[in-house]
Amino acid sequence: MTSLPLIPAASGAPAARRAAMPPRHLADLDLPGRQAAVTELGEPAFRAKQMSTHYFGRLVRDPAAMTDLPAAVREKLAGELLPTLLTPVRELACDDGATRKALWRLHDGSLVESVLMGYADRVTVCISSQAGCGMACPFCATGQAGLTRNLSTAEIVDQAVYLAGVAASGAVAGSPSRLSHVVFMGMGEPLANYARVVAAIRRLVAPAPEGLGLSQRHITVSTVGLVPAIRKLAGEDLSVTLALSLHAPDDELRDELVPVNQRWKVSEVLDAAWDYAARTGRRVSIEYAMIRDVNDQPWRADLLGRLLAGKLAHVNLIPLNPTPGSRWDASPKPVEREFVRRLRAAGVSTTVRDTRGREIDGACGQLAAAEDTDRDAPPGATA
């Protein structure tokens, strides 16, 4: 296995390179902030509630449809508080329409992805928090692409609002029409964009018209293990689920698969996770991508079981969705079943994630990578 460069201990998480953030949007602000912005534009404060009711309550993102605002007022307020943040590039569906993946171009040309997944009892959206990712996990399409920049709070929220509107339209047959769950498992490391991600969570859970009115317990934030940020999140008075992308129970392998482990070792990351569980009462989800002949050995299942036994944790095994041309592949099903058996024998709650979206470049970053390839290819080339 090729060694990856060490991350200097003093550097912490890699920072996004400087890039122009998008213009201000009402989702960047709480309701008092929107009211202040509206009055600064010479309009009465109640206009902020009107706009917020359209955007968060009715899932209307087009200012032209906000017809209870006078046309001249609407144009002025929309120009300042409702800029276009996400321009659709591709929208693909599979699983009889139950899985829908959207690729967006941002104002600076950056590409991000989000996914809607409909089930019989819920509708979940998976959203991105960064354009690209700086964590450099070698089996991840987004990690291979590197980090472009952090997303703004509104760029994060707007993904959820758009897909909530798709669900509300009845486009996902056999599923509820209301968005119920949001997972921060799209492109990027959420806790490396900490302030904006926490602000986005507060918009998602605030009652309408300030926000979408989702349950905190239906929000999941994924991380590769940025220990200081995990501890900070524990103090935010939020009851969101923490999902720890562990992928290996031993430091030797995790240093390779999750390079930030070179800064914060398995024991440190798990200690922070258990502290989070103790402070919030929320069970930690341990994410573990099953990679053939890399991290799927029986002894690693046994070691993981010993680390997690008796803890407030659940293991979510993820059959790897390999990226095109990658040397990484998913573990065979018999190997996966033995891994599950050993974890359960250790008393650890374990499930295997439902595989969705393989035929629509379902792995995070695949669709953006395909779009970049198409865009950069010479005329007539086939990506």
Q: Looking at the annotation, which residues are catalytic? A: 113, 364
Angle among Cα 321, 326, 331 to the nearest 5 degrees reads: 45
Q: Is the dihedral of CA 291, 294, 295, 300 positive or negative?
A: positive
The phi and psi torsions of 160 (rounded to 5 degrees) equal: -65, -40
Beta-strand ranges (E) seen in the chain are 87-94, 99-105, 111-118, 123-126, 130-132, 147-150, 181-184, 219-223, 241-245, 284-290, 313-319, 349-352
Tell me the C-alpha distance between 327 and 56, whole Å: 43
Angle among Cα 139, 301, 230 to the nearest 5 degrees reads: 60
**Tokens 């994924």 map to which residue?**
222
8 Å CB contact between 38 and 48: yes
Q: How far is CA 85 from CA 152, 169, 197, 304, in A?
A: 10, 21, 16, 42
Q: Which two tokens stand for residue 232?
A: 């900070």
